[in-house]
Amino acid sequence: EPEVTQTPSHQVTQMGQEVILRCVPISNHLYFYWYRQILGQKVEFLVSFYNNEISEKSEIFDDQFSVERPDGSNFTLKIRSTKLEDSAMYFCASRGQSNQPQHFGDGTRLSIL
């Protein structure tokens, strides 16, 4: 069965550095998402992406964050100047049509030192 894949599985970065989290959604999917889960807390929506543009974003998704689909297969989340509080598990998800469920990747654990 096709899967959403995320790399790396664990990223350790110094505070203030830029980080790019990568996702390869399922190939014929049209809608793409990033979520965040701080350790011990609930999953939070960050952003959704459709037709090469952001369709929705939460208040967490400020100017520090950006998303891109650079080559038709990858979907990336960039955090420009990381802060300690950005440490979390970041999940990518994708879905096909609007009446289909989202498929999640296994997540990237981001640790900011």
Build a one-symbol-per-residue string for 15-34: x at contacts with other proteins by CB under 8 A, - elsewhere: ------------------x-
Distances (CA, A) of 77 to 9, 83, 94, 99: 14, 15, 14, 25
Q: How far is the CB of 93 from other proteins (least distance, A)?
A: 8
Whether the Cβ atoms of residue 107 and residue 6 lie closer than 8 Å to each other: yes
Number of residues in contact with other proteins under rule CB under 8 A: 23
What span, in angstroms and rounded, lies between the C-alpha atoms of 47 and 92?
10
Per-residue DSSP letter, 52 = T
The verdict on 109 binding other proteins (CB under 8 A) reads yes
Residues that bind other proteins (CB under 8 A): 33, 35, 37, 41-45, 48, 56, 58, 89, 91, 93, 100-107, 109
